[in-house]
Chains A and B, each alone.
Chain A
């Protein structure tokens, strides 16, 4: 069994029947090699959470098979549960309990001996910088502390495979950085991680390989470098006075970018380029030469939206959802909220 991948899934299908039939997963296959990190990237409602719920034995697929370290997630669910840790936006701990109590609870339910659980709790609280907050209820924790505690609780039984469902969604930039550092530490120590995310930046930083899914299907996969090579590394967004001016600007800027044509978005023109800062100067110079008035200029890293635009030719469709929270780094136009879960829960 040593040569089994940590996680492999073959042709997973899950359909939720309700008022509206939702094909949450429509034939998803993926593989995570031991000791590596796979980033499952996609907008809300893409099927990320459903995939994690199936792989972590919470939900049975309608068809297809999945294994964790060679064990079937449906027929050997009990064994799989002893090998995995799960933390995520929809799988949490009790906010009325203290940090230590929560870790102990999960430890006891993982069937660790009482004494070992207590020692492990202390160890984890220390490692995650939560020792001082250990005896406070989670209600008093900040968002970042909460996620760290969630992650700590998932690690009580030292699982070799870890599922993280949107580990940093809604966190401020500093907390995201902290959590990324923690995850990197786990990976260095040999843990295999499958994480879902909406942020290309996060996949880029943490993942060895990335699988992009949309509408329950895999639409791209590769290393972050491969995905970005297809995409360019910087987006230059120039805003002009009106859409007509933007069209004119796109025409004169076209020759500046070799591969991809400029994309129009209202009164803005977007260029996806390799060398953003140098080209931005060229862009301004060219527009000046044509006496076009620039209302705004922005440089940004490509967002998930750009990946989608590049891969599918359309923007990431996402139902407008409440509680939109922009990611800490790159501005994304993907609303963040409950759509994924609604999809996963609808019946």
Chain B
């Protein structure tokens, strides 16, 4: 400790910011969101939980479902592993979204957001940085699942363009979901509660869907839910994009429904999350 040599030259900063126009404010908002994104991504790499959920778990799902259930489930017109991959995509981004809830709850209750509020940073950066980090992580996770899938027999049946479209659709849906899970994180009294609150939403949506088995195998009352809920719509649409089954993009009713769901969720959840964030401290 060399307190005597502290050189804390106090300058009297010009209270006016370097440029206070709308353009400069937008530039800072983007820069702040990038900084928070960078921080969140660094953090992901240092927390065993998030590494597990975004890498080990999806790989296990691909391998286990492929080899354990694959033999028992008969999918018309294609192999089970081809059917499975779209399901694992969506299941993984959904389970990964829990880290949005947990991370935000931690930031809120451990005092980081408190500190952010006293900094001259853009107010939007906390949520923008969080959801962007999730998006970046999801890109990596989808590529990982694809690679593992390829190793165990998954093959895209359409073309590169439609395959990329399938990935973008899943990412768009996941991005919309992030805002919903942000609301859970901001509302929970701590990180554990956030996690507990997220799972009851996740499980029925993920498993009562077309992720791992065709909904036609379910009892009638469940089928009605499973067929029409957004997770199934997104899975069906991305599956169709990768495996074919519909002649042209504009005639794919699943795709349009999935896009409508995602856009609708985003339009509702994002403003709600912003509102909740403003109230949260």
Which A residues lie at the B interface, using CB under 8 A?
53, 56-59, 69, 71, 78-79, 81-84, 86, 88-97, 101, 105-106, 108-111, 123, 127-129, 137, 155, 157-158, 160, 163, 178, 181-182, 184-186, 188-191
B 1-52 contacts with A by CB, 8 A? 1-13, 15-18, 28, 31-32, 35-36, 38-39, 42-43, 46-47
What CA separation (Å) do A128 and B7 show in the bound complex? 11
In the complex, are the beta carbons of B118 and A184 less than 8 A apart?
A: no
Known: A83-B15, A92-B111, A97-B43. A129 touches B6 (CB 8 A): no
Q: Is B150 an interface residue (CB 8 A)?
A: no
Quick check: B117 and A111 within 8 Å, CB to CB? no
A168–B241 Cα gap in the complex (Å)? 59
Contacting pair A92 B9 (CB below 8 A): no
Q: How far, in angstroms, from A309 to B4 measured CA to CA in the complex?
A: 37
**Given the complex, which residues of A lie within 8 Å of B151, measured CB to CB?**
none
Give the residue of B2, B42, B114 whose beta carbon is less than 8 angstroms from that of A101. Answer: B42
Cβ–Cβ contact A186 & B8, under 8 A? yes
By a CB distance below 8 angstroms, the chain A residues around B38 are: 105
| B104-147 interface bits toward A, Cβ cutoff 8 Å, 1 = contact, 0 = none | 00000011101111111100010000000000000000000000
Tell me if B17 and A82 are in contact (CB < 8 A): yes
Please indicate the chain B residues that have their CB under 8 angstroms from the CB of A57 in the complex.
117-118
- The reply to whether A137 and B8 form a contact with Cβ atoms under 8 Å apart is no
Smallest distance from the beta carbon of B278 to chain A beta carbons, Å?
12
**Are the CB atoms of B120 and A78 closer together than 8 Å?**
yes
In the complex, which residues 174-211 of chain B have their Cβ closer than 8 Å to any Cβ of chain A?
Answer: none
Binding site for A on B (CB under 8 A): 1-13, 15-18, 28, 31-32, 35-36, 38-39, 42-43, 46-47, 110-112, 114-121, 125, 281
In this complex, which of B18, B36, B42 has the most chain A Cβ atoms within 10 angstroms of its Cβ?
A: B42
Q: Is the CB of A109 within 8 A of B35?
A: yes
A96 to B116, CA, bound (A): 16
Residue ID in chain B nearest A129 by CB atoms? B1
In the assembled complex, the CB of A212 is this many whole angstroms from the nearest CB of chain B, namely: 25
Least CB distance, A105 to chain B, in whole angstroms: 5
CB distance from B122 to the nearest CB of A (A): 9
Instruction: Report the separation of the CA atoms of residues A202 and B281 in the bound assembly, to the nearest whole angstrom.
Output: 29
Cα–Cα distance between A21 and B57 once the two chains are bound (Å): 46
B39 near A111 with CB under 8 A, answer no
Asked whether, in the complex, the Cβ of B8 is within 8 Å of the Cβ of A79, the reply is no
Structural contact, B7 and A127, CB atoms closer than 8 A: yes
Q: How far is the CB of B194 from chain A (nearest CB, A)?
A: 16
B6 touches A86 (CB 8 A): no
Q: Are A178 and B18 in contact (CB under 8 A)?
A: no
- In whole angstroms, what is the CA distance A95 to B4 when docked? 28
Q: A109 vs B112: C-alpha distance in the bound complex, in angstroms?
A: 12
Chain A residues closer than 8 Å to B111, beta-carbon distance: 88-92
Q: Is the CB of A109 within 8 A of B4?
A: no
Is there contact, CB below 8 Å, between B17 and A160?
no
Asked if B43 contacts A127 (CB within 8 A), the reply is no
The answer to whether A158 and B4 touch across the interface, beta carbons within 8 angstroms, is no
Q: Give the one of A71, A94, A129 with max B CB within 10 A.
A: A94
Contact indicator B10/A189 (Cβ below 8 Å): yes
Contact A189–B6 (Cβ < 8 Å)? yes
Cβ contact of A191, chosen from B8, B35, B117, B281, cutoff 8 A: B8
Using Cβ atoms and an 8 Å threshold, which residues of chain A touch B1? 128-129, 178, 181-182
Distance in angstroms between the alpha carbons of A163 and B47 in the assembled complex: 31
Given contacts A56-B118, A92-B110, A137-B46, contact A111 B17 (CB under 8 A): yes
Do the beta carbons of A111 and B120 come within 8 Å of each other? yes
Q: Are A109 and B121 in contact (CB under 8 A)?
A: yes
The answer to whether B2 touches A97, judged by C-beta atoms less than 8 angstroms apart, is: no
Chain A residues, Cβ within 8 Å of B117: 57-58
Of all A-B residue pairs in the complex, the 5 with the closest CB atoms, nearest first, are A185-B6, A181-B3, A185-B3, A92-B111, A189-B8
Which residues of B sit under 8 angstroms from A78, Cβ to Cβ?
17, 120
Contact in complex: B2, A129 (CB < 8 Å): yes
Give the CA-CA distance A109 to B18 in the complex, in Å. 14
Interchain residue pairs with CB less than 8 A apart (26) = A57-B117, A58-B114, A59-B281, A79-B15, A84-B118, A86-B115, A92-B110, A94-B43, A95-B110, A96-B42, A97-B42, A97-B43, A101-B42, A109-B36, A110-B120, A111-B17, A111-B121, A127-B6, A129-B1, A158-B13, A160-B12, A178-B1, A181-B3, A184-B3, A190-B10, A191-B8
Q: Which residue of A lies closest to B4 (CB)?
A: A185
